[in-house]
Amino acid sequence: MDVDALVFDVFGTCVDWRGTIIREAEGWSRKLARKIDGTGLADAWRASYQPSLEEVRAGRRPFAALDVLHRETLDKIAPRFGLAGVDEATLDGINRVWHRLDPWPDTVPGLRRLRARFLLAPLSNGGVALLTRMAKRVGLPWDLILSSELFEGYKPEPKVYLGAARLLDLPPARVMMVAAHNGDLAAASALGLKTAFVRRPTEYGPAQTTDLAPNAAWDLAVDGMEALAEALGC
């Protein structure tokens, strides 16, 4: 595979947002001495994700970083899951759970192997600050942080993929997009990037029905980052 750089979707592909929020919510429940529905919160928060990005993509509002969009959603849904009337500092800390997401068990070992041979970067709709802090906390070994924020748009907008290739000073064909989401890969592939599908069948919980398998002939389809390293000869 003649590529120099691998760029990774992050939420769901590298890290387990749903499991982390559910686990963290147990701590919030104890600290606030109230019952917080972490599973409901995680699912409702993520359900608002694409609609909130679409406001920006469609030009109905100016670019706003994902932390801002996450917080707007949180303010709307918090009361439904046991977080009514919580103070500002606590809500801000809860919003930053997206900076503290735990990687899937294969992510750090797989990336470490891949890093010996390729430039590695996230290419996420998460902001630069979010991705930087997430990486530092758990040791995601990125060579640089690439984020939709740098291009003031959101995947799957073409400017994000093409902007990443431009900053890397590589033709799109020398960059591989790695994602657990067929839509992300379809957008990248249409622009000439290589593609690797990583199966994450429980990203949305045990009853997940979407993105269980590749829906097109992506360059690679693997079961995790160690398998990706294997497939790429690392």
What is the contact surface with its own copies in residues (CB under 8 A)? 65, 67, 119, 127-129, 131-133, 135-136, 142-145, 149-150, 167-170
Q: What minimum distance in Å lies between the beta carbon of 120 and its own copies?
A: 10
Comparing CB distances to its own copies, the nearer of 56 and 145 is 145
Beta strands in the chain (DSSP E): 5-8, 119-124, 146-147, 175-179, 194-198, 220-222
> Which lies closer to its own copies via its Cβ, residue 65 or residue 232?
65
Between 100 and 133, CB nearer to its own copies: 133
β-pair partners for 175: 5
The residue whose two tokens read 């009361």 is 79
For the bound state, the minimum distance from the C-beta of residue 144 to its own copies, rounded and expressed in Å, comes to: 4
Give residues with Cβ within 8 angstroms of 124, minimum separation 6.
8, 9, 10, 11, 131, 146, 147, 148, 155
| Chain centroid, CA 15 distance in Å | 7
> Rounded to the nearest whole angstrom, what is the least distance from the CB of residue 104 to its own copies in the complex?
21
CA 42/CA 47 separation, integer angstroms: 8
Q: Considering beta carbons, is residue 26 or 143 the nearer one to its own copies?
A: 143
| CB 166 to its own copies: min, Å | 9
Q: Which C-beta is closer to its own copies: that of 141 or that of 205?
A: 141
Shortest Å, Cβ 24 to its own copies: 20
Burial level of 199, CB count in 10 A (0-12/13-18/19+)?
middle
